[in-house]
Structures are given as structure tokens and as C-alpha cells.
A and B are shown apart, each in its own frame.
Chain A
Amino acid sequence: AQSVTQLDSQVPVFEEAPVELRCNYSSSVSVYLFWYVQYPNQGLQLLLKYLSGSTLVKGINGFEAEFNKSQTSFHLRKPSVHISDTAEYFCAVSEGNTGFQKLVFGTGTRLLVSP
């Protein structure tokens, strides 16, 4: 069975600093990987996804993530954060051969950006 680990429950950072949110997964088969963002009192919004091809994936709002198969990781990065990036970030995995996208989510990382 798949699982996702987000080790950091909360990451405080100053505005314009770089940030990395960590995500590790476990699966016995090929996987699809996703990062979603949840702003307060809203639903989840897709930031980026890895299905195949280039291991460096670029998403919306200046975020990017790198798939590392040997380390079973899919860390999310942004070179310079804004106050508006304050939100909860969820990493998710689905098995690549199921035909339907059954996502397993991590527990989330709260990004707190301060001035």
C-alpha cells in the first residue's frame, strides 16, 4: 500500500527567503505524485504534478518539485516566498497503473511566511 510522509508539520520562513517542503513516499509500483495547496477555509488546489518524463516539475505560483526515485522523495521548493504563500501544503501519491486516480495524502505542512 502507498503512504506519504511529510515530516514537517509547520515551516516558518521570512518573506523572500527560499523554502523547501519535504515529502517522502512509499510504494511498490510506479507512482504519480502531486502537491496541493489549501488556503484557509478553501478547498485544495493543484500546484503541480509528476506523471512521467522530466523529474523537475514546475507548477503555479513559482513552485517546483523534483522527483527522486532512489530517495523516494518529491520535495517542493520555491526560491523566494511571499506572504500570500502562507497556507497548508499537501503531498499526495497515486499508483500509476490503476487507471483511476486514487490519491493518498500526507498529513500536510503549514507554511508560515512572515514579514
Chain B
Amino acid sequence: DAGVIQSPRHEVTEMGQEVTLRCKLISGHNSLFWYRQTMMRGLELLIYFNNNVPIDDSGMPEDRFSAKMPNASFSTLKIQPSEPRDSAVYFCASSPDGDTQYFGPGTRLTVL
């Protein structure tokens, strides 16, 4: 049984470039969460969706960040333009019941 799948696992890019992170939910799950983890700020919730609808995006840092769920099993997090301070590990998590969250392995983003 496949868990949450994230791609790429590692991304190195230059400041100003567009970055797209991808997440595939576990089949049957209806909630999707995007988190960012840094040494300075710990684990922060960026946005979460329920049934493909964004419920709370108050954690999105600024307009450079956007997230979508084009269908029930897939989500993207886009940063445009990227900045060095966006360097972090980005996790997505899915949930079948709004209770237990299942995390993906993360994408380590480095912006030079």
C-alpha cells in the first residue's frame, strides 16, 4: 500500500526561478496538508484542503506561494519567484478522516 508520494525529493534552484513541488495523496483520503520545516521556525502548516477545497491558507508566507488540488489525489505547491529564505523541507500529509495525518517523505528545497 503506497503512502503519500512527494516529488522531487531534492530540488536545488537559483533565486528567482519557479519551483513546483508535487504530492500524491493516499487513495481514499480527502484532506491534504502542506507543511514547511526549518531549523529556525520548526514545522509550520502552510495550507490545507478538504475535498479539493482550500480551507485555511493563513500559513502561506506570501503571494509568491500558491497551492492547488486539480483533482482528489494530487496537489502542487508552487513558489514563484523563489528566494533563498524559502530553503526548507516541504512535507505534504493526507488524512482520511480529518484525524490522523500521514506524512510524505518530504522535498528538500535549496534556493541559491
Interface size class of A (residues with CB under 8 A): 20 to 34
Interface size class of B (residues with CB under 8 A): 20 to 34
Contact A44 B91 (CB under 8 A): yes
Q: Which of B81-109 contact A (CB under 8 A)?
A: 91, 93, 95, 98-106
**Contact A107/B31 with A45-B103, A102-B48, A102-B56 known, Cβ cut-off 8 Å:** no
Q: How far is the CA of A79 from the CA of B65 in the complex (A)?
A: 44
Contact A99 B42 (CB under 8 A): no
Contact B43 A51 (CB under 8 A): no
Q: Shortest CB–CB separation between residue B59 and chain A, in angstroms?
A: 9
B residues lining the A interface (CB < 8 Å): 4, 31, 33, 42-43, 45, 48, 50, 55-56, 91, 93, 95, 98-106
Contact A101 B101 (CB under 8 A): yes
Q: Lowest 7 A-B CB distances belong to which pairs? A: A43-B103, A105-B43, A44-B103, A107-B42, A101-B98, A43-B105, A100-B98
Across-interface contacts of B95 in A (CB, < 8 A):
101
Q: Shortest CB–CB separation between residue B88 and chain A, in angstroms?
A: 14
The A interface, classified by DSSP as helix, strand, loop or mixed, is loop
Contact B99 A51 (CB under 8 A): yes
Partner of A100, one of B42, B48, B104: B48
Contact B101 A90 (CB under 8 A): no
Q: Shortest CB–CB separation between residue A103 and chain B, in angstroms?
A: 7
Q: Shortest CB–CB separation between residue B68 and chain A, in angstroms?
A: 19
